[in-house]
Amino acid sequence: MKLGILGLQNSGKTTIFNALTGQNIETASFTSGKIEPNLGLVNVVDARITKLSEIYNPQKTIYANIEYIDFAGLSGNESGGFPSNLLALLKTTDAIVLVVRNFEDEIISGVLGVPDVLGDIEKIKSELIISDLIIAEKRLQNIELSQKRGIKDQSLLIEKNAIIKILDGLNSEIPVRKLEFSKEEKKAIKGFQFITQKPILVIVNSDETNFGNNGNLLKEIEKQSKVAEFAGNFEMELNNLSNEDAKEFMSDIGISESAQNRITKLSYELLGYISFFTVGTDEVRAWTIQNGDNAVDAAGTIHSDLARGFIRAECFSYEDLVNIGDEKKIREKGLFRLEGKNYLLKDGDILNIRFSV
Ligand X SMILES: Nc1nc2c(ncn2[C@@H]2O[C@H](COP(=O)(O)OP(=O)(O)O)[C@@H](O)[C@H]2O)c(=O)[nH]1
- The single residue among 95, 204, 217, 231 that binds ligand X, judged by CB under 6 A, is 231
Residue 14 binds to Mg ion (criterion: CB under 5 A): yes
Residue 111 binds to ligand X (criterion: CB under 6 A): no
Supply the minimum distance, in Å, between the C-beta of residue 124 and ligand X: 11
Residue 205 binds to ligand X (criterion: CB under 6 A): yes
CA gap 342, 337 in Å, rounded? 14
Number of residues that bind ligand X (CB under 6 A): 19
Q: Which helix (H) or strand (E) holds 39?
A: strand 38-43
Taking alpha carbons only, the member of 7, 29, 125 closest to residue 17 is 7
CA gap 288, 222 in Å, rounded? 26
Q: Strand 283-290 relative to strand 60-62: parallel, antiparallel, unpaired?
A: parallel
Residue closer to ligand X (CB basis): 46 or 235? 235
Residue closer to ligand X (CB basis): 11 or 275? 11
Residue 102 binds to Mg ion (criterion: CB under 5 A): no
Q: Which does 231 bind (CB under 5 to 8 A by kind): ligand X, Mg ion, none?
A: ligand X
Residue 15 binds to ligand X (criterion: CB under 6 A): yes
- The single residue among 4, 6, 14, 139 that binds ligand X, judged by CB under 6 A, is 14
Are the beta carbons of 64 and 96 closer than 8 angstroms? Answer: no
Residue closer to ligand X (CB basis): 105 or 297? 105
Residue closer to ligand X (CB basis): 107 or 357? 107
Decide: helix, strand or coil at residue 303: coil
CA gap 110, 108 in Å, rounded? 5
Decide: helix, strand or coil at residue 68: strand
* Alpha-carbon torsion angle 318, 324, 330, 336, nearest 10: -30
Taking alpha carbons only, the member of 202, 199, 129, 192 closest to residue 159 is 192
Supply the minimum distance, in Å, between the C-beta of residue 52 and ligand X: 36
Decide: helix, strand or coil at residue 301: helix
Residue 207 binds to ligand X (criterion: CB under 6 A): yes
Q: Which does 317 bind (CB under 5 to 8 A by kind): Mg ion, ligand X, none?
A: none
- The single residue among 93, 233, 258, 260 that binds ligand X, judged by CB under 6 A, is 233
Residue closer to ligand X (CB basis): 70 or 132? 70
Residue closer to ligand X (CB basis): 96 or 330? 96
Strand order of the β-sheet with 226-230 is 38-43, 65-70, 2-7, 95-102, 200-206, 226-230
Q: Tell me which stretch binds ligand X (CB under 6 A): 149-157, 169-177, 228-236, 246-254.
A: 228-236
Residue 301 binds to ligand X (criterion: CB under 6 A): no
Residue 27 binds to ligand X (criterion: CB under 6 A): yes
The interface mask with ligand X, positions 44-83, x = CB under 6 A, is ----------------------------------------
First and final CA of the chain: distance in angstroms? 29
Decide: helix, strand or coil at residue 327: helix
The amino acid that residue 191 corresponds to is G
Of residues 45 through 84, those in contact with Mg ion by CB under 5 A are 72
Decide: helix, strand or coil at residue 96: strand
- Point out which residues bind Mg ion (CB under 5 A): 13-14, 72
- Point out which residues bind ligand X (CB under 6 A): 7, 9-15, 27-29, 103, 105, 108, 205, 207, 231-233
